Chain A
């Protein structure tokens, strides 16, 4: 088990390094001179020179890359050109909105999808299964940001149960903050829950066709017992992969949804970074998002091994 974890850890660290090289190449090499790119065409040469100095652009590419990565390792992402504050401060203030939002949405999605998928599989071909399959088909087709707008229209503007946007800050109380994240989380979660429920259903149905389920039935287990005791755990293995992949979609989705609800999260930061050509901010936030995705992949891998004894050996 430890060996498996270590192997995966090293392989994912390599992915992380490769990702950082890609991001570095796109942001710092493709534009030519990032300093003049950030300042625009009308900038004075001495201003550019000053920024080059500040950004440390005068070293070789390799030393710049090493400085950037080693800086990130100790939490130093550089200084934002537009905000004139350390990027780490900007990120820290915002990550506590985006991350909880993604996790909240993942929780809702999983909590809905598991029972729904299970019921559909158990009642295969019955009315309830057909209804669930139809609803989820629709759910997949709905863009989450549009769904968010409709939720705002119904629950904030018409019913006034929730505020239409904004975030009070965690210091104003946990429940209040959670409440303001609830509509965004639901908007993110429902389309994903539709996908997950369908995968859950088909995974269980695939498992039910396996020989070992027949063996279990021959031992005297009822159909229901065979699902609970044998099919479910095996069916979870492919579902876990999807949950892991969904996290990266939810992180990306969170960035978009923040726009609908005026949440001051990473999404707002990154879009401001783009319009203001603040490459340092863009680079750092993208790296952070990729890091989050890779970490989640690692966690999913470990869960995999916990579920499937065949993996632990490797």
Chain B
């Protein structure tokens, strides 16, 4: 049975074309995946179905839900469809709920707004719905506030709100992108079971092919506002007729070519590192509690080695990065770089300082917007005694830019003139310019689209071959770590629970947490990825 029929949907915002003749059909109780990179128009497709496009948008074409054209409905009529016939959940669970209202009230509101129930009864139904999404009475009474819940739990509340009226169609826009892998797989399982048991169709919008491949019956691949290919998921993924689909696929599981050349000499050595911090006082009568973010971590990174560090958010990997970089004082333990003591929190010797550089995740927050690229990437020269000046400095800047695949002229530009991928190249140039032996990559490719990510990973591999660089590759993304590191360490709650050769750890994990992480990571079917 056909549920939704989208015909030639085009959307423009203030005259700029966003969607171009998008057409697809969804049957009842079906999971339909829409996949694409940022700017492909996948979220706009969802918002136009909901009638929630930003001001100044114009849409043409039709979107018929059980033979009612949603695009033609009056705002008032549309209100009675939203949350009732179509439910929707969004990407960012931390901000998706009203912070000053209890979760019970927020779920009940869906029912009250649509006249399904009066207050008391609505709260009872809300209780059932919260149970349905796995938030049970004992732990999650109706009078909890959103700030008392974790991201995954908040996303469950959002789902409960969206399914309260048992809509025929649920739209989930990147519902798990902001979540950790283990939470992601739980939420995806929940969505799948809801589709099966509530006889509801699901539009699953994501950038992650692996998520789609494990879940969706049908899929549409979007690029620049168009659907380039659509059909049964198996068929699309097997045949890969369209070059863009093919490109997305190979980029998603890209293995950069690189030589492993780990020597036996240790480059970075951590001995029983402990990093604690004081939590803010709960009240003035209590002494502030301390939190141990890094608990007794020891490891050795050998010269020329690519070492991975994986863990979920809050496991202490960022704190550990800052400690290695010598930014924060340790409470106990020692860090050595090429045999020299890194006296964390104290002034670092400049000869030591220049051996270690860092690339961060956020391509937007990594640069002072008021400086030119040339000045930005030469910042590491600060505090180096023999820093180049004049033409030498200019040459160093040009060389660094060329090394990362940019042009020497880019030194005169400001950072806002570059795309996310280019910015990450500039960040690498900044790390590279003083010829360090170690670069710490803190989620360095996590914010990038898959095809850009593949290019940056290739660049990193190439540079490590060329300059005999070692990487400490810190990420939450297991598949990336698997493809670029020689050895991997798994971190949980401040401790390293397992470490070893990357292939061995991924094929034969021994620690239960590693097993759980690997099992939770969505993967593309093996036979398709070549």
Contacts and interface: CB of A to CB of B under 8 A. Distances in A.
Given A229-B109, A309-B145, A314-B283, A218 B88 contact: yes
Interface residues of B, number: 35
Interface stretch (B60-68, B97-105, B390-398): B97-105
Interface string B92-131: 1001111111000000011001100000000000000000
Interface stretch (B74-82, B220-228, B374-382, B514-522): B74-82
B356 interface: no
A225 B79 CA distance: 11
Contact of B82 (A3, A10, A218, A314): A218
A36 interface: no
A214 B90 contact: yes
A211 B83 CA distance: 16
Given A6-B283, A218-B83, A220-B114, A308 B100 contact: yes
B30 to A, nearest CB: 21
B99 A212 contact: yes
Interface string A206-223: 000011101111111110
B147 interface: yes
A129 to B, nearest CB: 14
A145 to B, nearest CB: 39
Given A214-B90, A229-B109, A314-B282, A219 B98 contact: no
A310 interface: yes
Contacts of B282: 314
B110 A219 contact: yes
B34 to A, nearest CB: 17
The prevalent SS among residues of A at the interface is: helix
Nearest to B144: A309
Contacts of A234: 98-100
B45 to A, nearest CB: 15
The prevalent SS among residues of B at the interface is: mixed
B316 interface: no
Interface string A229-266: 11001100000000000000000000000000000000
Interface in A270-300: none
Given A218-B50, A314-B282, A211 B75 contact: no
A7 interface: yes
A111 B73 CA distance: 38
B158 interface: yes
Interface in A114-142: none
A220 B80 contact: yes
- Which 7 interchain pairs have the tightest Cβ spacing? A220-B83, A219-B83, A211-B95, A218-B88, A220-B82, A309-B145, A212-B98
22 contacts: A3-B283, A4-B283, A7-B284, A11-B284, A212-B98, A212-B99, A214-B96, A215-B98, A216-B98, A217-B82, A218-B82, A218-B162, A219-B162, A220-B84, A220-B110, A221-B83, A225-B113, A230-B98, A234-B98, A234-B99, A308-B100, A313-B147
